[in-house]
Amino acid sequence: MSWEGHRDGQLTVGGVPAGTLAARVGSTPFFAYDRDLVTRRVALLRTVLPAEVELNYAVKANPMPALLQHLSGLVDGFDVASAGELKHALDTPVPPARIGFAGPGKTVGELTQAVAAGVTVELESETELARVRAIGAELGIPARIAIRVNPDFTVRGSGMRLGGGPQQFGIDAERVPQVLARLGDDVDFQGFHVFAGSQNLRADHICEAQRHTVDLVLGLAEVSPPIRYLNLGGGFGIPYSRRDQPLDLAPIGDNLARLLRERVTPRLPEARVVVELGRYLVGEAGVYVTRVVDRKESRGTTFVVVDGGMHHQLAASGNLGQVIRRNYPMAVADGVGRPVDPPVTVVGRLCTPLDLLGDRVELPRVDVGDLVVVFQAGAYGLTASPTGFLSHPAPVEILV
């Protein structure tokens, strides 16, 4: 894991000892995101991906406004999935033309906001095309559009697989030519977007998906207006347990360089090629910091009860789509280098056995008042959790 920072036996976040950070925040639990780790992650991608590939951030992974401001100086654009995310994205210096709005079920209200803002609407259906046309006519602004394609292939190895079958996402690849035939001057057609899966740790599978995507789009190019935008998706995964091997970026960079050189640039010279990443940019840069409120024995198991839980960090409890529950990495804030105790089970404060943060984890001795830190909490954490459940206060989020 990339969270190896520590000083005098204390874990550090953004160089600050976790205990000091807790005092600064004034309450637990809280989420802390390390700005330097985000900066370094983007820099790493820039060294590996071909220079002409643009890097977008998928805002839904973590929409914290301060984090978006920080990222706005590092990435080329943002992908948003709601009017709320659109507002946050437009509040940053990123130009509207570098913002894409995808997601099924966009209402006329949301589409109106998007067309008025001048962002690229990534059409998920033919209904959406009819709506943006009417909105464009009404506002006197041709809608800037791209077609999200539901691909005719599946990506192996994705934690969440999209494409290959019926989908609420995108327009089926085989229907896209008919839709293209109906486009006119009343829309500003940019190109295509294919996003075929998430949380993939296999470079070979990601390369295969990128090759299939390029094949698909080059096929559509035969019957399409000039393509100025080609969003290849992303799906780069991060390790959540010791068994996960971190993604090997080098082959992905090589594959993209070859695809661009041999296929995309010769055929689609005007296309901006975009890779959009959420989790990979921010997931490892965040921690969820909780404080122990109770420690109890029950029939041979030691339970450590912390003041947070799955209402803030659902993913760590294993209830956000995992097939097999595995513990997220966690640590005791002042336990760096201390010997490990017999395993304990770390639970939250919700009245359900699902609120399990760590099942029989090996930690140093941990008592009431200690800070327990859950790693890999920077993406799909707070905003992907049922915060209203049990009406506990919302946690603070900070960028360090």
Ligand X SMILES: *Cc1c(COP(=O)(O)O)cnc(C)c1O
Q: Which residues bind ligand X (CB under 6 A)?
A: 58, 60-61, 79, 81, 102, 195, 198-199, 233-235, 276-280, 379
C-beta of 315 vs 331, nearer to ligand X: 315
Name the minimum Å distance from CB 389 to ligand X.
Answer: 23
C-beta of 17 vs 233, nearer to ligand X: 233
C-beta of 31 vs 280, nearer to ligand X: 280
C-beta of 157 vs 234, nearer to ligand X: 234
Stretch (H or E) spanning 149: strand 143-150
Name the minimum Å distance from CB 124 to ligand X.
Answer: 10
C-beta of 55 vs 336, nearer to ligand X: 55
For residue 250, which amino acid is it?
Answer: A
Which token pair is 132? 């943006």
Name the minimum Å distance from CB 315 to ligand X.
Answer: 12
Name the minimum Å distance from CB 93 to ligand X.
Answer: 21
| Contact (Cβ atoms closer than 8 angstroms) between residue 196 and residue 162 | yes
C-beta of 11 vs 209, nearer to ligand X: 209
Name the minimum Å distance from CB 94 to ligand X.
Answer: 16
Stretch (H or E) spanning 360: strand 356-361
Name the minimum Å distance from CB 132 to ligand X.
Answer: 18
**Of 342, 348, 346, 376, residue with least CA distance to 362:** 342
Q: How far is 284 from 316, CA to CA, in rounded Å?
A: 13
CA distances from 234 to 55, 99, 207, 282 (A): 10, 16, 10, 14
Q: How far is 59 from 316, CA to CA, in rounded Å?
A: 20
Q: How far is 357 from 325, CA to CA, in rounded Å?
A: 10
